[in-house]
Amino acid sequence: SKIEAVNTLVSALLEKSTLLLHDSGSDASRFAYEQFIHIFNDMKVGHNAVDISVAPIPSFSDYKEVVVLLSDLTFLGKDLTALTSWVKAGGAAYFPLALDGNIFSDTIFQMLGVNDASPDYYTVRSIYLHEDFMIGGGSAFELTDPFECARTVSLSRSAEVFASAETPDGVPLVWRNRYGDGVFVVANIGIYEKTLRGFYASAYSLLS
């Protein structure tokens, strides 16, 4: 369509300051990627999308933000250490997928502001938006088909929570944690639908 053609042209002209890592071999990553392409087009975010299943990860130093559309960080390998070092030096990284429990995610949980993470997943029935996060802050909106989609975690006092399950003190769903001179943002909810684009877009905005 003409609108899609214009969006493609605008995207091509924008400075590609954001690196979007995804994995076409993962259903969750593929679903999230489809939504983030729409989100970045709507927000006019210049980005470089890299499918890590077929292409190497470029240098993080070429970007201002990195969005990691992976639930299993094993696939980052040694690049995970490079990513955390880049954030500590002033970078900004966003994890929009609920992270799987394994040695790779466990090694960076403290950097993300996580004190403890249970292997269990929590059934999110509604999302409570904290004040000043997005339109509708200070209230909760129900999900039509709740299921076990969020890791049950407890956070350190340094983490700023912006959304949680059901109540302000519920399971954290979106938080930001300063690390060195940089910042991590985490969206701990495995639902990738059109109705939640504003939710993920607002979490992306926390990088700045």
Residue 84 to residue 161: CA distance in whole angstroms: 21
In the block, tokens 């910042």 appear at: 183
Q: What is the pTM of this model?
A: 0.91
Q: For 195, which DSSP code?
A: G
DSSP result, 90-128: T-EEEE-SPPP-SHHHHHHTTTTTEEEEEEEEEE--EEE
pLDDT value, residue 3:
45
pLDDT for 50-75, tens place per residue? 999 999 999 999 999 999 999 999 99
pLDDT for 24-43, tens place per residue? 999 999 999 999 999 999 99
Please, which residues bridge with residue 61 across strands? none
Residue 175 to residue 45: CA distance in whole angstroms: 21
CA dist list (Å): 60 to 28, 52, 73, 142, 153: 23, 14, 16, 37, 28
Residue 117 to residue 122: CA distance in whole angstroms: 11
pLDDT for 85-132, tens place per residue? 999 999 999 999 999 988 899 999 999 999 999 988 999 999 999 988
pLDDT for 11-27, tens place per residue? 565 789 999 999 999 99
| Cβ-contact 115, 141 below 8 angstroms | no
Please report which residue ranges of the chain form alpha helices under DSSP H: 2-13, 27-43, 79-88, 103-108, 197-205
pLDDT for 168-207, tens place per residue? 999 999 999 999 999 999 999 989 889 999 999 999 999 9
pLDDT value, residue 12:
60
